[in-house]
Amino acid sequence: MKTKAVRLYGKNDLRLEEFELPAITESEILAKVVCDSICMSSYKASHEADIHKRVPRDIAQKPTIIGHEFAGEVVEVGERWRGQFAAGDKFSIQPALNYEHGPVGILSAPGYSYRYVGGDATYVVIPREVMELGCLLRYKGRGYYPASLSEPLSCVIGAMHANYHTTPGSYVHKMDIVDGGCMAILAGVGPMGLAAINYAIHRTDRKPRLMVVTDIDQVRLNRAAELYPPQEAAKNGIDLRYVNTAAMGDAVAELRVLAGGKGYSDVFVLAPVASVVEQADAILSADGCLNFFAGPAKSDFKTLFNFYNVHYASTHVVGTSGGNTDDMKEALAMMGKGLDPAGLVTHVGGINAVVDTTLNLPQISGGKKLIYTHVDMPLTPIADFAEKGKRNPVFAALAQLCDRNKGLWSVEAEEYLLANADKLNG
């Protein structure tokens, strides 16, 4: 089986190539990749290359396939797994295997470490380790892109599960957000913030009574309110407020007023900005948990924290970066029941767009860049579909389909693109 894939050979050295895959063994699975969403982690791996913790040292001789947020369809199943998987099964993969291989103990992961499996490919061989660790996850929902986005959604899920609270007189921590508490998501209308709002609204096991989402960009706040309106949250018993803190005279005081003056039991910080972290600390209630869900670029990122409240009010802080396999299973289950993560996606492209997109990802604005690996298509903002549609009817149709879905990608748009990809360059 031939595959077309983007492989990493060294620092900033990504190449789109076609090559032969080896025949699968009894412990492996041959799969077709349909789509992959490009992550900032792939940008970091492409720039660090063989010094990255998950990238082997011999990539110049044995290049690896990049991309770790992918979904597809099983093609052929090795004998060992035939009772568990079958051709035609849709899947996603948990890339964080926590499995060491090789003489230098690289933390192996699809999309970083393997020659024959990664998301930016047409066909892949899923190795024994993925199977044995239970990291090939079946997806039973519509379409493919939701399964591709299960990894980033799992990061949000993991963050909420990682929050904890205490009981006076006990040293046992109660994990997760407070059911019926007050929650704030600061700098919360970027792609991951939208995912957090979406998840919180649709959880059935627990929910906040009040959820305040802040930002300093009114346009983005308005867009978030359009995608996830307060009326939708109210159906699940959540009082959802979108707040522009730039328009407040005293943001901390006014945010505390919204929470009844007692502060917030759970506060999520989604931007690595010192003033935002300090604001989060200042609005915590007694026993409030601050989750620093923002990856700073500098290793010496520091800010002030009120340790008087740590001692006397039991405030505390956690940090999360990624979700585990159970979080991904929860994400896939929720999407199988209709939760749509399309709010994460702002750009769509084909496999020919992977190299430039990955190497220049920080300079490309917007949210997730969704790649369809069996399609040749320049990376295109969804907002530009209508303009491109003046010259190409495929883009015109895609624009109409997205307009019907509040300007978001959809299963219908995905199906249309896959059925008409051959006309994109006509």
| Average pLDDT of every residue of the chain | 94
The yes-or-no verdict on residue 75 having pLDDT over 80 is yes
- What is the rounded average pLDDT of the residues 396-407? 97
Residue 24 has what DSSP assignment? P
Mark whether 137 and 262 lie in a shared domain: no
| Amino acid (1-letter code) at residue 372 | Y
Tokens of 119: 């998301």
310 in the same domain as 211: yes
Rounded average pLDDT over 273-284: 98
Residue 34 belongs to domain with CATH number: 3.90.180.10
Whether 371 is in a domain gets the answer no
C-alpha atoms less than 13 angstroms from C-alpha of 307 in its C-beta half-sphere: 2
Percent of the chain whose pLDDT exceeds 90? 88
- What's the distance, CA 71 to chain centroid? 13
Range of the domain at 213: 162-319
Residue 195 and residue 296 in one domain: yes
Residue 274: is its pLDDT beyond 50? yes
Angle at 172 between CA 169 and CA 174, to 5 degrees: 110
Rounded-to-5 percentages of helix, strand, coil across the chain: 35, 25, 40
Instruction: Report if residue 361 sits inside a domain.
Output: no
Query: In the structure encoding, which two tokens stand for residue 412, read together?
Result: 């219908």
Q: What is the pTM of this model?
A: 0.91
Q: Is residue 136, in this structure, part of any structural domain at all?
A: yes
* Average pLDDT rounded to a whole number, residues 351-372: 96
Asked if 16 and 352 count as a contact pair (C-beta separation under 8 A), the reply is yes
Q: How far apart are CA 203 and CA 217, in angstroms?
A: 27
Q: Are 24 and 78 within 8 A, CB to CB? A: yes
Question: Does 365 map to a domain?
Answer: no
Q: Are 142 and 183 within one domain? A: no
What tokens appear for 369 in the block? 């860049």
Looking only at the bridges linking them, the beta strands covering 70-77 and 64-65 are: unpaired
Q: Does any domain span residue 231?
A: yes
pLDDT in tens, 12-39: 999 999 999 999 999 999 999 999 999 9
Is the pLDDT reported for residue 318 higher than 60? Answer: yes
Reference 113, options 70, 53, 73; nearest CA is 53
Residues 167 and 314 in one domain: yes
Q: Which two tokens stand for residue 410?
A: 């959809």
Looking at residue 323, what is its pLDDT? Answer: 86
d(CA 149, CA 139): 12
Provide the pLDDT for residue 100. 55
* Residue 280 and residue 241 share a domain: yes
3-state secondary structure of 291: strand
Q: Return d(Cα 283, Cα 263) in angstroms, integer.
A: 5
Residue 55 located in a structural domain: yes
Q: For the residues 217-238, what does the mean pLDDT come to?
A: 95
Q: Label residue 321 by pLDDT band (50, 70, 90).
A: confident
Question: Which structure tokens are listed for 26?
Answer: 């009894």
- Structural domain contains residue 80: yes
Same domain, 172 and 284: yes
Question: Residues 315, 168: one domain?
Answer: yes
Tell me: do 113 and 220 sit in the same domain.
no
Number of independent structural domains in the chain: 2
Q: Is the pLDDT of residue 104 over 70?
A: no
Query: What are 117-174's pLDDT values in tens digits?
Result: 999 999 999 999 999 999 999 999 999 999 999 988 999 999 999 999 999 888 899 9
DSSP for 92-139, written as a single string: EE-----EEETTTTEEE-TTTS-SS--SSBSEEEE-HHHHHTT-EEE-
Q: Looking at the structure, do residues 89 and 191 belong to the same domain, yes or no?
A: no
375, 425 contact by CB (below 8 A): no
What's the pLDDT at 98?
A: 65
Higher pLDDT, 424 or 251: 251
In a domain, 387, yes or no: no
Last residue of a domain, one of 347, 362, 393: 347
pLDDT-derived band at 102 (thresholds 50, 70, 90) equals: very low
Look up the CATH number of the domain holding residue 219. 3.40.50.720
**What is the Cα–Cα distance from 68 to 39, expressed in whole angstroms?**
8
Asked whether residue 71 falls in the same domain as residue 118, the answer is yes
Is the domain of 264 the same as that of 130?
no
Task: Locate 82 and state its tokens.
Answer: 């035939």
